[in-house]
Amino acid sequence: MAKSKRRTSQTVTILDVASRAGVSPMTASRVMNNNPRVGEAMRDRVLAAAAELNYRPNLAGRSLRSSNAARIGLLYSNPSAAYLNQLMIGVLEEGSLSGAQILVEKCSGIRSQRAAVQRLLDTGVDGVILPPPLCDSRQTKRELDQANITVVAVATGAPVAGISSVRIDDYQGASAMTQHLLDLGHTAIALIKGDPKHTPAVLRAQGFVDTMARAGLTVPAEHIVPGLFTYRSGLAAASTLLKLKNRPTAILSSNDDMAAAVVAVAHGMGLRVPGDLSVTGFDDTPVATTIWPTLTTIHQPVTAMGRTAVRLMLEEIRCKRSGKPKAGNHQVMKYSLVKRESSAAPPRG
């Protein structure tokens, strides 16, 4: 039996309908919501496309749209559960205080991202908070913009006009950590980079390299290894660095999860931390104080950033509802270097 060419309603989104009809997602949404401002010919075209694709609107989303409470979505694909948990605490706390509804969606690949965006649109969100690495996803931001949905980016290293954001200065944070290791007497310092698709990872790497250069030190290519902000990638990177003939005396990891992996590999090789090897992280997530030795790291106020993201979103929603232009605020929050037990002077000899 031949399969029907119609897609099921579970896989068809308002973006598909708009594309088939040759109109914007906002126009397609207006038609499906019986907005009187859409012309007859345009309405017929969109309805025909919806019928061809077997599209069915989300009724739950319509009921939510009748409420005046702000509906804020949070779309995430962050591999670091510790970072995400801290962010969620801030988002949920501020959402509760403000009376906003918080809707959370997880995604992974491109198809999953698109489906998650549509689920949020179906629930009638006023705006979507994008934590890393989605804060740097051009496709996700473009789809939300096409649907006239407000976006707030968390921890992006490349803020853009028209999209509010909250972040720290990742370049200066990495520079401060590098200087800390230099001040302890280290010169053979290695770096485990973060996900290259995430702009703060690039800034952290540049902060490290520039600070080493200012100290008159050239970092060997073998002392800079890739990572993905995951514990597993940290294991692989640490294994590579610690098997080098001229292994480093200190390793700066671009987040705490990877730093924890370095400590584990070092212990497995019989190396003392920090006696034989200093290890530092970035973010100051709970893992930094639950491993031994506790991690020297850069404290990023992730929970406070979550609260700020909600406040920025509410400000944008108020502007939108009152017909005012987007606020487009960019807030840079303070970081701090937290010295703990994992860093010390390099071994003698």
Between residues 78 and 4, the one the model is more confident about: 78
Question: How many angstroms separate the CA atoms of 35 and 121, rounded?
Answer: 17
Predicted pLDDT at 1: 40
User: Is residue 327 a contact partner of residue 278, using CB atoms and an 8 Å limit?
Assistant: no
Domains 9-51 and 170-300 share a fold: no
* Bond from prior residue into 274 cis (ω within 30 degrees of 0): yes
Sign of the C-alpha dihedral, residues 11, 12, 16, 21? positive
Between residues 3 and 144, the one the model is more confident about: 144
Nearest one of 174, 192, 178, 183 to 335, comparing CA atoms: 174
Q: What is the pLDDT of residues 29-45, one digit of tens each?
A: 667 766 666 788 888 88
Between residues 113 and 199, the one the model is more confident about: 199
User: Is residue 279 a contact partner of residue 262, using CB atoms and an 8 Å limit?
Assistant: yes
Strand order across the beta sheet in which 101-106 lies: 101-106, 71-76, 127-130, 150-154, 164-167, 330-332
Q: What is the pLDDT of residues 96-115, one digit of tens each?
A: 888 888 988 888 776 788 88
Count, residues in the chain = 349
Q: What is the pLDDT of residues 47-101, one digit of tens each?
A: 888 888 888 765 444 544 445 788 999 998 876 778 888 898 899 989 888 888 8
Predicted pLDDT at 44: 81
Domain residue limits, the chain: 9-51, 69-168+302-334, 170-300
Q: What is the pLDDT of residues 200-238, one digit of tens each?
A: 999 999 999 999 999 999 999 999 999 999 999 999 999
What's the pTM value of the predicted model, to 2 decimals? 0.78
Nearest one of 327, 324, 317, 319 to 99, comparing CA atoms: 317
Q: Is the CATH code 1.10.630.10 the one for domain 170-300? A: no
Say which residues have a Cβ less than 8 Å from residue 319's Cβ, sequence separation at least 6.
325, 326, 327
Q: For residue 226, what are its two tokens?
A: 């890739």
In this structure, which amino acid lies at residue 51?
A
Predicted pLDDT at 19: 85
Between residues 115 and 244, the one the model is more confident about: 244
Q: What is the DSSP letter of 292?
A: S
User: Is residue 296 a contact partner of residue 79, using CB atoms and an 8 Å limit?
Assistant: no
Q: For residue 205, what are its two tokens?
A: 């790497």
Which class does domain 69-168+302-334 fall in?
alpha beta
User: Is residue 156 a contact partner of residue 136, using CB atoms and an 8 Å limit?
Assistant: yes
Predicted pLDDT at 60: 46
Predicted pLDDT at 37: 66
Predicted pLDDT at 337: 98
Question: How many angstroms separate the CA atoms of 19 and 17, rounded?
Answer: 5
Question: How many angstroms separate the CA atoms of 136 and 145, rounded?
Answer: 14
Q: Which secondary-structure segment (H or E) carries 239?
A: helix 231-242
What does the mean pLDDT of the chain come to?
Answer: 88
Predicted pLDDT at 226: 98
Say which residues have a Cβ less than 8 Å from residue 262's Cβ, sequence separation at least 6.
192, 234, 237, 238, 241, 251, 253, 277, 279
Cβ count near 76 (within 10 Å): 20
Predicted pLDDT at 57: 63
User: Is residue 193 a contact partner of residue 224, using CB atoms and an 8 Å limit?
Assistant: yes
CATH architecture assigned to 9-51: Orthogonal Bundle (1.10)
3-state secondary structure of 102: strand
Q: What is the pLDDT of residues 116-162, one digit of tens each?
A: 888 888 888 999 999 988 899 888 888 898 888 999 999 999 988 88
